[in-house]
Chains A and B, each alone.
Chain A
Amino acid sequence: AQSVTQPDIHITVSEGASLELRCNYSYGATPYLFWYVQSPGQGLQLLLKYFSGDTLVQGIKGFEAEFKRSQSSFNLRKPSVHWSDAAEYFCAVAGGYNKLIFGAGTRLAVHP
């Protein structure tokens, strides 16, 4: 069955530090992979997506993610975190064309 695992429930980093959020997926075919961000009181916003091609994808707000088929991973990175990046981050895989399968999320806290 298709699934997404985000091993880190909660991560705290200092402002200006680098960030990596982990995501592992289980999917039989070539996956469509996504990272979403959810800020308090706001809906989900798409940060970036991977469909095919270059395994390093760039997204909004300075985020990037790397698809590694051999590790079934799609980790999200940012070189320098800003206080406004504090939010919950969800990794997702498209389970067929009509629904997204989400991980449980990683809550990011940023210390000044």
Chain B
Amino acid sequence: GAGVSQSPSNKVTEKGKDVELRCDPISGHTALYWYRQRLGQGLEFLIYFQGNSAPDKSGLPSDRFSAERTGESVSTLTIQRTQQEDSAVYLCASSLASVSSSYNEQFFGPGTRLTVL
């Protein structure tokens, strides 16, 4: 079946511009995650959506970052007034519903490489 897809695969933008990154999760996956991977570093958690519950935004680095998800479908990550330090690969993952007593595997998309000039 189809995996997690992300678009665009690459995005080059100028400092100060806004960008939108899109994630299409695996059908039936109610949980969706965004991570950021800076060059030479591991992944940093940004935000988590679980169904219609309030998202966990604890990883968002500043108020320039926001994300939306309608129901159990597509999610968009928006970065306003981009800065050079925002350059990174942004990865999306989805999983079956996550509950505190168990863990469901996260499946990752190929990522969007963002370059801010």
Those of A16-33 within 8 Å (CB) of chain B: 32
Name B99's closest neighbour in chain A (CB-CB): A97
Write out the residue numbers on chain A whose beta carbons fall within 8 Å of the beta carbon of B101: 97
Size of the B side of the interface (Cβ < 8 Å), in residues, is 29
Name which residue of chain A comes closest to B33, CB basis: A99
Name B103's contact: one of A42, A45, A97, A102 (CB within 8 Å): A97
Task: Say if the beta carbon of A87 comes within 8 Å of chain B.
Answer: no
With A98-B50, A99-B56 known as contacts, the answer to whether A90 contacts B99 (CB < 8 A) is no
Tell me which residues across on chain B come within 8 A of A92, comparing CB atoms. 42-43
For the residues of A in contact with B, the DSSP-based class is: loop
Looking at the assembled complex, report how far the CB atom of A51 sits from the nearest CB atom of chain B, in whole angstroms: 7
List residues of A (57-112) whose CB comes within 8 Å of B's CBs.
90, 92, 94-105
Q: Choose from A49, A51, A104 the contact partner of B42 (Cβ within 8 Å).
A: A104
Check B100–A97 contact: CB distance below 8 A.
yes
Minimum Cβ distance to chain B for residue A100 (Å): 7
Q: How many whole Å from B88's CB to the nearest CB in chain A? A: 13
Contacts of A56 in B (CB 8 A): none
CB atoms of B91 and A99 under 8 A apart: no
A interface residues, Cβ below 8 angstroms from B: 4, 6, 32, 41-46, 49, 51, 90, 92, 94-105
What are the 5 A-B residue pairs with the smallest beta carbon separation, nearest first? A102-B42, A44-B108, A99-B45, A102-B43, A43-B108
